[in-house]
Amino acid sequence: MVEYEVVGLEVLWVKVIALRMNCALLIGVVYAPGYDSEVFSKLRTSMERIPPHLRRNILMLGDFNCPNISWSDKASESSERERDLLSLQSSDDRYLVHPQDKAEFIPKTFADEYVDCPVHCKTHLPPLPVRLMEPAISPRCLDLLITTTAILTIVKKLDVNKAAGSSLITNRLLRVAGTAIVHPPSRLSNLIIQTGQFPTVWKKADAVPIPKKGGSAFRPISLLPPLSKLFEKILADHLSNYLYQNTLLSDSQYGFRKQRSTEIQLAQMSHHFSQVLLQRKEADVILLDCTKAFDRIPHDVIVDSLFKHGVTGRLLALFSDYLRG
C-alpha cells in the first residue's frame, strides 16, 4: 500500500478479512520518532484516501515518541464513524475511550440523575405486615414434618473437621452417635416448626477473625451450633425443593442454585455479546456489587417475598422469627 505511505513516519498497513463478520479490518502500525504537526496532517490526508468500506473498520496502533502531544485533542478531531464503538460521550461533548475515564463517568452520571425525590419517594418505608393466615399464590409451600430419616441422612454427611464454636455438641459427636441420637433433634425440630420460634441460643454465633491477605485486616467467620446448622439445612432443602418444583425462581438467577454457577453465567453472557457484535450492534452492561447485601436488605421485604411465593402459616412465622434476630 505504497500510496498511503507518509514521509517522516514508518507505516505498515495490514488488511484482515473477518469471514464470520463478513467485513474487512484495516490495521495500521505507525512509528513516529517525534512530533511534527505537518507529518501527522499528511497521515490524516493519507487516511482520507482509504476506501470508505475500509475506513469504517480501521485500527491504528503505534509507537509515538511525542511527550508533548495532547492525544485527547487529536481524538476529538476524528470523524464520528472513526470513533471507537465503545466510547462514551460526556456532558461536555468529549468522547471517553480510556476504561478509567468511563468507569468514573458512569457512576457520576447515575449519582447526578438518580437522586432522591421528596415528592414521590419516601425515605423511610413502613414495615411490611407479616401475613400468616391469608391465602398466597398457588401453589403453596406445605408445612414441614422432619423425620429421623431426614436427620440421619444429613448427619452422615457432616464434616467432622468443622469447628463447632462454643457448642458442646460437635459434628463428630453426631456422626459417632448416629441412630442413637437422631430422635431428640427430630422432636426438637418439629417443636420449633409448630411454635414458629427459632431458639434464641441458635441465633448466636462465635465470631472468629480470619486474617486477610497481607495480614493488615481481618474478616469474621461465624461459627454456629451444629444442631442449628442441621436444622437450617433441612429447612433450606425444603424451601429450595418447593421453589424448584414450581419454577418460582427467575431463569436469570445463577447464584445459590444447583447445577449453576457464575462460570455458566459468564459463558452465556459471552455468547450473547458475541451474537450482538456479529450483528454489528452495541452491548451495554451495568454491573452492581452490593456490599453486605443480606445485611442491608430490610428483613420485612424478605418475609413479604416469601409470602408472595406461597410460604405461609407456621413456616412463614418461623422465617420471620429467624430474621428478627
285 against 61, higher pLDDT:
285
**AA identity, residue 205:** A
Contact 212, 254 (CB under 8 A): no
Average pLDDT of the residues of the chain: 76
Which are the contacts of 273, defined by CB distance < 8 A and separation ≥ 6? 283
Query: CA quadruple 260, 262, 264, 268: dihedral positive or negative?
Result: positive
CA distance 304 to 179: 38
Whole-number Cα distances in Å, 197 to 193, 194, 311: 7, 8, 16
CA distance 20 to 186: 61
Which are the contacts of 262, defined by CB distance < 8 A and separation ≥ 6? 254, 255
Contact 256, 248 (CB under 8 A): no
Q: Could you tell me the pTM of the whole model?
A: 0.55
Buried b (16+ CB within 10 A) or exposed e, 54-78: eeebbeeeeeeeeeeeeeeeebeee
DSSP state of 126: P
pLDDT (tens digit, 9 = 90+) per residue, 139-184?
A: 888 889 999 999 999 999 988 888 888 888 899 999 888 888 889 9
The grid coordinates of residue 275 equal 451474537
Give pLDDT, residue 180: 87
pLDDT (tens digit, 9 = 90+) per residue, 245-298?
A: 998 888 888 888 888 888 888 888 888 888 888 888 888 888 887 777 777 788
166 against 187, higher pLDDT:
187
Instruction: Show me where the domains of the chain are located.
Output: 1-67, 85-115, 148-248+296-324
Would you say residue 23 has pLDDT above 80? no
Give pLDDT, residue 196: 92
Which are the contacts of 172, defined by CB distance < 8 A and separation ≥ 6? 160
In the block, residue with C-alpha cell 425462581: 249
- Name the strand (E) or helix (H) holding 164: none
Contact 192, 318 (CB under 8 A): yes
Give bridge partners of residue 25 from the DSSP assignment: 16
What Rg do the C-alpha atoms of the chain give, in angstroms? 31
The grid coordinates of residue 109 equal 452520571
Would you say residue 64 has pLDDT above 70? no
